[in-house]
Amino acid sequence: MSHCFYPLVNVVKNYPWGSRSALNARFHIPNPDDQPQAELWMGVHPAGISQVVCEDGTCSLTELIATDKQAMLGSKIAGQFGELPYLLKILAAESALSIQVHPQKAQAQAVFQRQQQNPDNPPDYNDDNHKPELVYALTPFMAMNGFRNPADIVGNFTPLNIPSLSDALTQLVVSPCAETLQAFFLLVMQLPQDEKQQALKRLIDNARDWYDDNLATFILRLHQYYPDDIGLFAPLFLNCLTLQPGEAMFLSPGTLHAYVHGVAVEVMASSDNVLRAGLTPKKINLKELMACTVFEPVYAAQLRMRPISEAGKHHYPIPVEDFCFDVYSDVKDVAIQTTSAEIVLVIDGQALLHHPCGETATLKEGQSVFIPAVTGDWTLSITGTLCRVYG
């Protein structure tokens, strides 16, 4: 028997940087073994497939969609992607994630295909997809997003007096462009060990004196967890911001970034491809990192998204076709038309979903449902906040 609303049982990811309490406190997700719970995944990515609750038990969301892709995904998604094209997460960062970048789609496809032909080599990518991301803050959410403008980078590094970077800093002043920024970043990543250690000591000893409160706070927080890591220089060349609850930002593939602390909803293309640049004990593939990264400044004033808001609905426009993202707050009997596969997640409070056939779903915070494209028209009431992801 087909349904309009399918409750989901989702996968918790226990990464070392995760919070031991946030998912339980906010969303009642059990943590009996007191593990760091970093992410809750909702979707069909092979690394964490959601289960669907039915009358006769559960099946995977992948299996449900495969029963009738046109009905489940809708003709547009079925034709363009052939599968659910997005992955929805709740992210709970106690310590910083690695500084990272995600590849463009063409690059991911080329490298993944090359890996398939050489299975004995350690893989760089887990799939052949790009990974544009939207982050919607649920708590104050500290993050680094994109390169600062070159003048700020020069101003931040000059007090450190690092001999190996002197000429590159001069070039950033004389000719601030992608080529000089790329050359500077490569030199930072390849700093000789003795220069790196001396500069890191000066950075930590003088952070409060040399830099504003926001920048110093980022530097010193990272130092708590990664005292000797090259990534401690990242706040000097990346934009540092703290999203307030309800604020969102978008990250295009190729954007160097890191999530530092806080709880957020994250939606992305269905990919788990990551190239790291610091704040990690894992491998840094510098060649692939340089090939993936876009060396253009991202201006701080442009980082926070401006939603289109009307009567309790907030739509966040994004420049990709993999997903759309809406947030609803305190609405009653709002008409919604489903034309593609959707996942709805309650952020706080309680929601009632109602279909004209009489089927309903009642959800509280942390609970989610899959809504097939064939569901069509339905109504939403929520006391609190809910997010809706669709194609």
Instruction: Tokens 């000893």: give the residue.
Output: 205
308-390, which class in CATH? mainly beta
Burial 47-63 (b: 16+ CB within 10 A, else e): ebbbbbeeeeeeeebbe
- Tens of pLDDT along 17-50? 999 999 999 999 999 999 999 999 999 999 999 9
Domain ranges of the chain: 308-390
Residue 365's contacts (CB-CB under 8 Å, 6 or more residues apart) are 26, 27, 28, 346, 347, 348, 349, 350, 384
Q: In terms of C-beta density within 10 A (0-12 exposed, 13-18 middle, 19 or more buried), how is residue 16 classed?
A: exposed
- Tens of pLDDT along 67-88? 999 999 999 999 999 999 999 9
Report the pLDDT value the prediction gives residue 126, as an integer from 0 to 100. 73
Verify whether residue 276 is a known catalytic residue.
Answer: yes
Residue 199 has pLDDT above 70, yes or no: yes
- Tens of pLDDT along 255-273? 999 999 999 999 999 887 8
Burial 84-110 (b: 16+ CB within 10 A, else e): bbbbbbbbbbbbbbbbbbbbbbebbbe
- Long-range contacts, stretch 17-20, CB < 8 angstroms, 24+ apart: 17/93, 17/94, 17/95, 17/96, 17/97, 18/92, 18/93, 18/94, 19/92, 19/93, 19/94, 19/263, 20/94
Report the pLDDT value the prediction gives residue 178, as an integer from 0 to 100. 97
pLDDT band at residue 123 using 50, 70 and 90 as cut-offs: low
Catalytic residue among 148, 276, 306, 388: 276
Structure tokens at 234: 């990242």
Q: Region 321-350: what's the mean pLDDT?
A: 98
